[in-house]
Structure 1
Amino acid sequence: MQQAAAQAPADPRAFAAAVKARLQEGQTTLRAAFEADGNARRLIVGRARLVDATLIEVWQHLAIPPEIALAAVGGYGRGELFPGSDVDILILAPGDFCNADAHRRAIEQLIGVLWDVGLEIGQSVRSVAECLAEAARDITVQTTLLEARFLCGRRELFDEFWAAFRGKLEPAAFFRAKRLEQAERYTRFNDTPYSLEPNCKESPGGLRDLQIIVWAAQAAGLGDNWPALARRGVITAHEARQLARAEDTLRDIRCRLHLMTRRREDRLLFDHQEGLARAAGIEATRTRRASEVLMQRYYRNAKLVTQLNTLVLQNLAAAIETAPPAPPIVIDVRFQSVRGLLDVRDDTLFEREPHRILEAFLLMQQRSELQGMTARTLRALWAARGRIDAAFRRDPQNRALFLQLFQQKRGLTHELRRMNQYDILGHYLPAFGRIVGQMQHDLFHVYTVDQHILQVIRNLRRFTLPEFAHEYPFCSRLITAFERPWVIYVAGLFHDIAKGRGGDHSRLGVADARRFCREHGIAGEDSDLIPFLVEHHLTMSAVAQKQDLADPDVIRAFAGVVKTSRRLTALYLLTVADIRGTSPKVWNAWKGKLLENLYHAALRVLQGDAPAPAAGLAVRQEEARGMLRFHGLRGGVEDALWRQLDTAYFMRHDAEEIAWHTRALYHRPDSAEPVVKARLNPFGEGLQVMIYVAGQAELFARLCGFFSRLGYSIVEAKIHTTRSGYALDSFVLLDPSDTLPYRDMIGLIEHDLVEQLQTRPPLGAPSSGRLSRQVRHFPFSPEVSTRRDEKGNSHIMSVAAIDRPGLLYAIARVLAQHGIDVQAAKISTLGERVEDTFVLSGNELGKTATLVQLEQELLEVLRV
């Protein structure tokens, strides 16, 4: 390399161009070799060496002052450079070096040339004292310097730095700081490796989980690679091989991501997953896309990484921490407690007595002082998981132990997650094992199937805990009074277990649930309840969000499906837990209110009463009158308005809404001017808007367009026409971006919407708002179906489509163009998908040709 520097052209631009050409040629050669053999380690080590040579050549060519030293730090110091990674360097200088202008100019020239040759440099210029001070303040700097590697310049200065740095390094303090850092990182990624777009570097189960092990071992002088850790007894030889394979898998994915995106991209976005699968030679199967196969492999690798991370960090803690170990506390002849962790007293316990595997998890639930399991116990569980075979599953003792896990007062969620982590759950329930790491391409689940199931069970358990009673108080009251709530947990375990088999997973899961009940001695009404919940776990949300809850026939039909109040309560609890377990974007207070209303209405029917809308109309009106009196209105002021309202209005609105409408309209039932009132939604987040105006064409479309332009999503619309021809409509609005201040928008809506209704400008074209990035990678065909309702008075139109800004307005505009009126609308958003239901009226709906044309036009505007 010195010869190349001596022969380098004198012209700085020519020199930089020549070095850049050699660097690009070298990187092209490395990439070609990787694409041929798939050896990611050779690629990243080769790029580090190539950059080493480039840096040394530039350093020597520029004749950098001999007082300073150049070192590689961070991942580059480790001797690894991924294709898109920055080149982190430390320019080490004497304490007074930077005071000299000439020296500063030399460093600036160095950095400039390095950028000119095509290297993205991350540099720091420090003295030894400054390095030590920064390392003491910032654990990230300390970690970066831990991997420092000398490149060129004054070797004595680098050795002085390294000796001082190692002398100041406290392995135990460093280890504790890195574990806290990992806990914070896990929190940022929701403590799961199983999000649908994970970060292969930072997410749990990513490369960072492996690097933290090496950093802690390096700091303690235990080695800087897996074979070295095995020689020191920190890990076994088998674990060293597992760690190396897992690391190679992650390196391969990260290298391909960088090369495919031509930048440092560590997120496995939907945009990249199919391309990555093709690059890795993965092909689609009959039931799954190539990207799904790739991601299941990734999740299983991430699961292994988190397992090994837990094991090795425990062993490192024992090797690094200087405090004398506390003596073990004997639990029984098989188990003991070591530092608050469950420990097997004999490494062969689970091999000799396999049923103790389940007993270990049961002990974790029963003994609150246990905070986890020792590395020895986890290793023994992992090694013995193969002992859970057909004979193990048939053993009545094991079946009883497994069922007891669900019947304990604490720890179910933690232990099911631990059982899943170490493949115990998948071995005991092979059907569960098949859905581990399985993606859900449905636009609203953000977890893999197994993680969603465990999230649902977690939600159910939280209903029982006093510290979470404030979250969903009604659910907490119901589950507290529910006899044997563990039955609902079992149903939660099976509700999605048949995903990915093809066909209706709700029905397919029923067979698994029935077999489980039969084999585990669950009898009587519980053996009936669990399969019922599995089969109908989607029914309650479908009725609440898509049907008219003011219709007594809807309530009677739903009650006929449920049949008993115990079933109803269990289904309600599972439904709330299930929706909350799909994605943070799917649940909102409005859906909660719909479900609660349906629960109360169905419960009255099951208790022998008529559905509340039919039986309690007079009661509801009297309750509304009481609210009016409370607000100071004299008796009878409501009569003029109420004479214009029919039974359907009082059925669709509760007493509080009726009173609110009446206070705004009692003195102007024949108002010549539009009346618009808005308020904070009393039933949860968002706004409630009431519109009262003399009938006009295209009203629903105009209102939808107005709200769309403001950026709101309509989650419910109640459309009513009075006997005198006035429209009395109410909407519930949510801000999907969570940026619009609801309270501040009330005055604007009341003023601007009145102006719109007075001037009636032509309906504008629907917004062509941008689709979310994820939507482009989910094949979904829009659906439109129209049918007469059972009474023959109206038509029910159902629409399913990909959500986008202005979608509802586009639908309303098509309906308006055909002269079709919207009587009511149920707007249901499930992640990136909408499933809306409209009650329609209009003479044209009776014509088959009109219906066909209408559906074709709607499909056209729904396509993305």
Structure 2
Amino acid sequence: MQDALNTSLQALIADSRQRLIDGSAALRSAYEAQPRTAALLKGRAKLVDREVVRIWQACAMPAQASLLAVGGYGRGELFPASDVDVLVLLPQAADTHMRERLSDMVGALWDIGLEIGHAVRTVDECIEVANDDITVQTTLLEARFLAGNKALFAELDERYHAALDVRSFYKAKQLEQQQRYARFDDTPYALEPNCKESPGGLRDLQMLGWIARAAGLGHSWRDLARRRLITGGEASELRSVERFLQHLRIRLHYLTGRAEDRVLFDHQEKLARLMGVEATANRRASEALMQRYYVNAKMVTQLNTVLLQNYGTVIFPDRGAAIVINPRFQVVRELLDLRHDEVFERHPSALLECFLLLQQRSELKGMTARTLRTLWINRNRINAAFRADPHNRALFLQILQQKRGIVHAFRRMNEYGILSRYLPPWRRIIGQMQHDLFHVYTVDQHILMVLRNIRRFTMGEHAHEYPLMTRLIMAFDRHWLLYVAALFHDIAKGRGGDHSKLGMADAREFCVLHAIDEEDSALVVWLVEQHLSMSRFAQKEDTSDPEVVQRFAAIVGDERHLVALYLLTHADIRGTSPKVWNGWKGKLLEDLFFASQRLLRGATPQQALGLDDRLEDARRMLRFHGLRPGVEERLWSELDSVYFMRHSAEEIAWHTRVLYFRADAEEAVVKARVAEEGDGVQVMIFTPDQKELFVRLTGFFGRLGFTIIDAKVHTTRHGHALDSFMLQDPGGESSYRDVITLIEHELTRYLAHPDVIDRPSRGRMSRQVKHFPITPQVSIRPDEAGRHYILSLTAADRPGLLFDIAEVLASHGIRLHTAKIATLGERVEDTFLLTGAILAQDAQRLRVERELLQRLQV
């Protein structure tokens, strides 16, 4: 009998598997012929319903038990690769026999090809778990009866809703959304968003549905409109953005063949084609698709805010009387509210005033739904006449000059379409992607991140993060000018041409129209023009060269401009990506800042670099470590001034402590330590000079998987190499202290065999570079003094890259003195200081450039 049952079940499993395959293929064909989300999502849920119930019945489950669909499946919406979540509801705890039946049933569901998520509980257990776990409480909210004991399901439904505390549910879902937003940096504008979980994704819409269902407010957007929680137009917008996100997720599942919700670079071009988005002369199809995504995500976040507040007025009706602020605004439940619906029509300047009030009144937590909706409807009242009104211009400047809430104000103005109406150039950068592989935000969001960073310099709670920045900005008169520069520094991105030059015109026009005095206007415009200069000098030029510092100081001109540019540069680099900034880049900028500051205060170029002070500081450190006076002279006599200018006092003291008693060592001396900044390893190599030493060293470090971010190469007067490297683990996985001994031991042994060269693997191309390739660029040019040559190159980052460069240079007898390695996400922008007779010949220099380009090809 049991054998017959098993045979029958196996036949049913095979039949159900085929029915699911055929049914899924038919649904996909119908969708691709005529894309309709409801037909696909509900169709797949019904298809799965039939086969799940067949398996339930075939497994002879007890009549007292119930089978329920929960979660998205319970809602009757199944995406192509979504899990199928079911709940087996029992009248009492399962015994051994029941557990065996359940195991057989769940196994059969897996065998027919379903990704099953299941739970087995009694009604009491469901209520108990739901009270403790908001996720379970939410899934039960959408429970749907499939088979078995309908009365048991009715009991669960009745007891669940009796126990449901709508107010607690509302607060818990709000908190859950805040936590989810934090995982995605509180922005829907990431370059690779998650169309389900990111802010502005499907989860935001689902949350609105859950709260409405829990509070008895309706089951559809139309229901909410009938209750006047949203307008009819907003209901249509919600359905439209929901369909767009559903289409995107469906296409992603079909494209990848799995439950993939991340809109990765790998998929964006293909998705654009599948969704009928075409490329233009200036934009890829993927860029047009993603801009459409950001517009829809922005709409979701706006309507999510409106509806949550409207829900709150229903769920918490007893929040006190209105407090009048002025004839136009009042406070209702800690939110800014309009005194009447015609405020913006009668007083258009109130479109800016509302943001100013949010800054000035700390008790305000935001705007009421009525205010937000009316603001959005009236945003087009900001036109040329509005922008020309002196009162409105004064209001905008006031928003920039407030002591609090500046970043929130500008984020809100961007979100609700006010900023793009007031600053017309802003419209072109909303949702504009940046395929440079180190900006992880769209242009508008990057600018707002830079604004946030500058604002943080002024805040005491962040002073421990940016002590120097805080000290500088607090002494900077009218630091709100830096906010203006931040707003305009990248506003011309994507127009073609030099965005720094194009942005100057926009910044100049803004300053003139807003009556900013001539001196301050000149500073803002200059900052927009020069906002890349300091990072370029610090990361690409030899800032230990007095002439380089002099050239930079000449661009800056005075200390006020220097401080302003330093603050903006620091904020700008930190606003590109959490991965781009590191302590080493901060040190490069800081060294250039202080050298330039000393020069501007009247020091000579040598004094500006602090050479005498540096040597004195190094001697003081040696005395502190117990070395008697004069022990350093033997080693130092073999070093030239270039060495002392390129190393800090602390590095000189470290090298000296290691080498003072073995200045003539015939065997390699290798010493490593954790960098002062804590995010890398410094390695010092002292050895009789060897052929192709730099090539060998880059090969060694490449084999270990380290990225070289800085290299200083010196040859002493008595023929020893004294080289310094700063290394980082690109994956961030190494415990740097653990590798110090390994580096010292293995590198010493490696250098003892000059005929051996480690050749690191070229490594695999990253998926970002694959989809947004970087064309390598190489330039070799003489420096200002004509004594050295500067090699500048841009390429896609990969393991073994620096080894390939070093090998080409060595093959032509070119000597490398310093290397500055700037890794920006998947992109490297490296600068090398070189000497070599071959470089003086134009034809030979061109040949070297061509060979480098060949090796840089990914």
For residues 50-72 of structure 1, what are the alpha-carbon distances to aligned partners after superposition, in whole Å with 9 as ceiling and x for unaligned? 11222233333444332212111
Q: Residue 637 of structure 2 aligns with which residue?
A: 643
Q: Residue 50 of structure 1 aligns with which residue?
A: 47
Q: 2:190 matched to 1:164?
A: no
Q: Residue 180 of structure 2 aligns with which residue?
A: 185
The RMSD of aligned alpha carbons is 1.7
User: For residues 387-398 of structure 1, what are the structure 2 equivalents within 5 Å?
Assistant: 387-398=381-392
Match of residue 196, structure 2, among 198, 201, 208: 201
Match of residue 99, structure 1, among 95, 107, 122: 95
User: For residues 25-36 of structure 1, what are the structure 2 equivalents within 5 Å?
Assistant: 25-36=22-33
**Paired residue secondary structure (1:828):** strand
Contact residue 550 and residue 613 of structure 1 kept, 8 A: no
Q: 2:201 matched to 1:214?
A: no
Q: Residue 140 of structure 2 aligns with which residue?
A: 145
Match of residue 287, structure 2, among 280, 288, 292: 292
Q: 2:249 matched to 1:254?
A: yes
For residue 263 of structure 1, report the CA deviation from its aligned partner. 0.9
Contact residue 73 and residue 149 of structure 1 kept, 8 A: yes
**Paired residue secondary structure (2:190):** coil
Match of residue 86, structure 1, among 79, 83, 86: 83
Mapped to 1, the partners of 2:178 and 2:701 lie a distance apart of: 42
For residue 670 of structure 1, report the CA deviation from its aligned partner. 0.9
For residue 779 of structure 1, report the CA deviation from its aligned partner. 2.1
110-119 or 719-728, larger mean C-alpha shift: 110-119
Q: Residue 5 of structure 1 aligns with which residue?
A: none
For residue 582 of structure 1, report the CA deviation from its aligned partner. 0.2
Match of residue 362, structure 1, among 356, 362, 371: 356
Contact residue 602 and residue 611 of structure 1 kept, 8 A: no
Contact residue 188 and residue 200 of structure 2 kept, 8 A: yes
Q: Residue 335 of structure 1 aligns with which residue?
A: 329
For residue 529 of structure 1, report the CA deviation from its aligned partner. 0.8
Amino acid at match of 1:223: G
For residues 727-777 of structure 1, what are the alpha-carbon distances to aligned partners after superposition, in whole Å with 9 as ceiling and x for unaligned? 111111222222211222222222221111112252233312233322211
Match of residue 382, structure 1, among 351, 372, 376: 376
Q: Residue 64 of structure 1 aligns with which residue?
A: 61
For residue 672 of structure 1, report the CA deviation from its aligned partner. 1.2
Q: Residue 445 of structure 2 aligns with which residue?
A: 451
Q: 2:12 matched to 1:15?
A: yes
Q: Residue 316 of structure 1 aligns with which residue?
A: 311
Q: 2:276 matched to 1:281?
A: yes
58-67 or 166-175, larger mean C-alpha shift: 58-67
812-821 or 47-56, larger mean C-alpha shift: 812-821
For residues 44-98 of structure 1, what are the alpha-carbon distances to aligned partners after superposition, in whole Å with 9 as ceiling and x for unaligned? 01111111222233333444332212111110110101111111111112214x2
Mapped to 2, the partners of 1:164 and 1:788 lie a distance apart of: 82
Contact residue 221 and residue 238 of structure 2 kept, 8 A: yes
Amino acid at match of 1:652: R
For residues 787-828 of structure 1, what are the alpha-carbon distances to aligned partners after superposition, in whole Å with 9 as ceiling and x for unaligned? 222333322111211111222122212222333221111111
For residue 610 of structure 1, report the CA deviation from its aligned partner. 1.7
For residue 386 of structure 1, report the CA deviation from its aligned partner. 1.0
Mapped to 1, the partners of 2:209 and 2:614 lie a distance apart of: 68
User: For residues 420-819 of structure 1, what are the structure 2 equivalents within 5 Å?
Assistant: 420-612=414-606, 616-819=610-813
Contact residue 41 and residue 251 of structure 1 kept, 8 A: no
Amino acid at match of 2:759: A
TM-score of the two chains, using structure 2 as the length reference = 0.97
Distance 1:9 1:645, change over 3 A: closer
**Paired residue secondary structure (1:22):** helix
Contact residue 766 and residue 810 of structure 1 kept, 8 A: no
Structure 2 segments unaligned to the other structure (5+ residues): none
Distance 1:497 1:614, change over 3 A: closer
Q: 2:73 matched to 1:73?
A: no
836-845 or 135-144, larger mean C-alpha shift: 836-845
Amino acid at match of 2:473: I
Contact residue 720 and residue 727 of structure 1 kept, 8 A: yes
**Paired residue secondary structure (1:283):** coil
Contact residue 406 and residue 486 of structure 1 kept, 8 A: yes
Contact residue 392 and residue 398 of structure 1 kept, 8 A: yes
Amino acid at match of 1:34: Y
Contact residue 426 and residue 491 of structure 2 kept, 8 A: yes
694-703 or 742-751, larger mean C-alpha shift: 742-751
Contact residue 200 and residue 266 of structure 1 kept, 8 A: yes
**Paired residue secondary structure (2:510):** helix
Mapped to 2, the partners of 1:615 and 1:112 lie a distance apart of: 73
Q: Residue 21 of structure 2 aligns with which residue?
A: 24
For residue 127 of structure 1, report the CA deviation from its aligned partner. 1.5
For residue 563 of structure 1, report the CA deviation from its aligned partner. 1.3
Mapped to 1, the partners of 2:80 and 2:611 lie a distance apart of: 70
Q: 2:262 matched to 1:267?
A: yes
Contact residue 9 and residue 15 of structure 1 kept, 8 A: no
Mapped to 2, the partners of 1:614 and 1:336 lie a distance apart of: 57
For residues 458-484 of structure 1, what are the alpha-carbon distances to aligned partners after superposition, in whole Å with 9 as ceiling and x for unaligned? 000000011101111111111000010
For residue 614 of structure 1, report the CA deviation from its aligned partner. 7.2
User: For residues 405-420 of structure 1, what are the structure 2 equivalents within 5 Å?
Assistant: 405-420=399-414
**Paired residue secondary structure (2:714):** coil
For residue 613 of structure 1, report the CA deviation from its aligned partner. 5.7
For residues 628-669 of structure 1, what are the alpha-carbon distances to aligned partners after superposition, in whole Å with 9 as ceiling and x for unaligned? 222222222222212111121122122222222222212221
Mapped to 1, the partners of 2:284 and 2:86 lie a distance apart of: 42
270-279 or 38-47, larger mean C-alpha shift: 38-47
Amino acid at match of 1:79: G
TM-score of the two chains, using structure 1 as the length reference = 0.96
Amino acid at match of 1:638: E
224-233 or 15-24, larger mean C-alpha shift: 15-24
Distance 1:812 1:202, change over 3 A: same
For residue 718 of structure 1, report the CA deviation from its aligned partner. 1.0
Contact residue 819 and residue 831 of structure 2 kept, 8 A: yes
Distance 1:633 1:280, change over 3 A: same
Amino acid at match of 1:48: A
**Paired residue secondary structure (2:752):** helix
For residue 683 of structure 1, report the CA deviation from its aligned partner. 4.5
Q: Residue 402 of structure 1 aligns with which residue?
A: 396
60-69 or 115-124, larger mean C-alpha shift: 60-69
For residue 303 of structure 1, report the CA deviation from its aligned partner. 0.6
Mapped to 2, the partners of 1:124 and 1:166 lie a distance apart of: 20
Amino acid at match of 2:237: Q
For residue 361 of structure 1, report the CA deviation from its aligned partner. 0.6
**Paired residue secondary structure (2:79):** coil
Structure 1 segments unaligned to the other structure (5+ residues): 1-7
Matched residue pairs, number? 854
Amino acid at match of 2:105: L
For residues 100-138 of structure 1, what are the alpha-carbon distances to aligned partners after superposition, in whole Å with 9 as ceiling and x for unaligned? 51x333333322332222222212122111211221121
Mapped to 2, the partners of 1:133 and 1:9 lie a distance apart of: 36
365-374 or 418-427, larger mean C-alpha shift: 365-374
Mapped to 2, the partners of 1:89 and 1:26 lie a distance apart of: 20
Q: How many percent of aligned residue pairs carry the same amino acid?
A: 60
